[in-house]
Amino acid sequence: MPPPLTILHATDLHLRRRLPGSSGHAVRRSREIPVLLARLGQAIGRHRPDLVVLTGDLVDVPHPFLHGEADAHPEMMAEAVDDYALLRGWLDALPCPWQVVPGNHDRLDAFARVFGADRTVERRLGGFRIVGFEDWEVEANQAQRIGIARERFERVLGDDDPTPQVHLQHYLIRPAVDYRYPLMYREAAELGAAIEASGRVRAVLSGHWHKGEAPLTAGATTYSVCPTFCEWPHRYRVVTLHPDRTDVDTLALDADDGRERRAAAFIGLGRLVAGDDPTRLAGDAGALLRIATAEERLPVIVAPWQPDRQGWRGVQAMADAVARSARAFGTELDAAYFVVPDGLDDAVRARLPAEGAPGQADLFPKAHAELGIDLARSVLAGGGDRLAALARAHGIRPLPPIQE
């Protein structure tokens, strides 16, 4: 009887290192990923898997570049390539083979410059065929398996090779997840039926849905939707393929009850900008950021957002531009919260990202829960009188005004 094949699966890293700023969702710890990868490498040394797989959203590419022309964003192209190279260097140093597929936050041409022909879409390992699929959102942010990926899918399910298979992809086939943003393939039911009818696919490993799902077995196939790695407690899975069963264990770098708490410097965006330019930092705001960094406080933008006037991608692009401006002062902006007005119209609120954008009253509890912020050791600069009053109520110290 052949030995089992062990796969360590992590997904949705949303890395930014050379790219400035962070994900538009503060809970995604984009700038912490290099340190977290070092810790994951130690876990890989303990688990000793036969293969490490990453199923998309490797880098958190800013929306203007993600959806724009490469020639219009040469600086972001270079930065994204550097971030993919950082990840490639980590993978190449692992003591086992690895395999990656891109996700909807990856820029394929930047991804391909680093991984190129070396990104393995199909390999044989330990008596299994490991098949990767590079799929894309085609219409209304929903993925479809078309073109080369569809041809590969039909070929591996119908050729003369009976070797059991493992499929790697970013998007979901099963289980069905009803979410405001489309997570499932448009033809998920069709893909699942073909997989199960073939009897060849032992496991389908995917990401995209940050909460993850319990493994689901249909026929001979186990579908594993892994929780995101970029959000605390930084989960990953170990999938063990035995001749007669598939075991899936969900693990984490941190314990659910042992989180280290950090102090933050909450900075109202109005305190950051210079003159009428909403993306250029004022000099004394740069000094404030340097102080926050020196005191090891997490710098967090608090940006007022009128979602009926500015779209989600636009407000994230503004925060990214502010983060780039911060580099002139030798600082990095780590996270941003986009705070919506009180009493927002229900129709407008229904169009917000499903993770939501907080109102002022929800901001500090949300940061405490998502970022592990120790509010009693945190400070607030700017943001207005009401936000200052809410800060005091949570034990946060408002700083006196600085020269605008």
Which H, E and C letters describe 235-247, residue by residue?
A: EEEEEEECCCCEE
pLDDT computed for residue 256 by the predictor: 76
User: Percent of the chain beyond pLDDT 90?
Assistant: 73
**Strand 221-225 vs strand 216-218: parallel, antiparallel, or unpaired?**
antiparallel
pLDDT tens per residue, range 272-291: 665 666 666 666 777 778 88
**CA separation for the pair 196, 176 (Å, rounded):** 15
Write out pLDDT tens, residues 318-360: 889 889 988 888 888 899 999 999 888 888 888 888 777 899 9
The tens digit of pLDDT for each residue in 128-147 reads 999 999 999 999 999 999 99
pLDDT for residue 404: 41
What pLDDT shows up at residue 80? 98
Cβ neighbors of 337 (< 8 A, separation 6 or more) are 26, 300, 301, 302, 303, 357, 358, 363, 366, 367
Selection from 198, 133, 190 nearest residue 162 by Cα: 198
- The pLDDT tens digits of the residues spanning 249-268 come to 999 999 877 788 899 999 88
The shares of helix, strand and coil residues in the chain, as percent rounded to the nearest 5, are: 35, 25, 40
Does the bond joining 233 to the residue before it have cis omega, within 30 degrees of 0? Answer: yes
Following CA atoms 132, 134, 139, 143 in sequence, which dihedral angle do they give, to the nearest 10 degrees?
Answer: 20
Per-residue pLDDT at 295: 87
Q: Given this model, what pLDDT does residue 374 score?
A: 96
Residue 260: predicted pLDDT: 80
**Position 206 pLDDT exceeds 50:** yes
pLDDT of residue 402: 58
State how far the Cα of 359 lies from the Cα of 120, in Å rounded to an integer: 45
The percentage of residues in the chain with a pLDDT greater than 70, rounded to a whole number, is 95
Mean per-residue pLDDT of the chain: 92
Beta bridge partners of 250: 237
Structural domains of the chain in order of their starting residue, each with its CATH number:
5-252 (3.60.21.10), 264-398 (3.40.50.1000)
Q: What is the pTM of this model?
A: 0.94
- Give the distance between the most distant pair of CA atoms in the chain: 74
242 pLDDT more than 90: yes
pLDDT at site 345: 83
Q: CA dist 182 to 141, 171, 185, 234, 354, Å? A: 7, 9, 8, 23, 11
Q: Higher pLDDT residue, 192 or 121?
A: 192
Q: Indicate whether 1 pLDDT > 50.
A: yes
- For 142-191, the pLDDT digits (tens) are 999 999 999 999 999 999 999 999 999 999 999 999 998 999 999 999 99
Residue 89 makes CB contacts below 8 A (sequence gap 6+) with: none
Q: How far apart are CA 102 and CA 108, in angstroms?
A: 7
pLDDT tens-digit series, residues 380-391: 988 889 999 999
pLDDT of res. 272:
61
- Residue 75 reports pLDDT greater than 70: yes
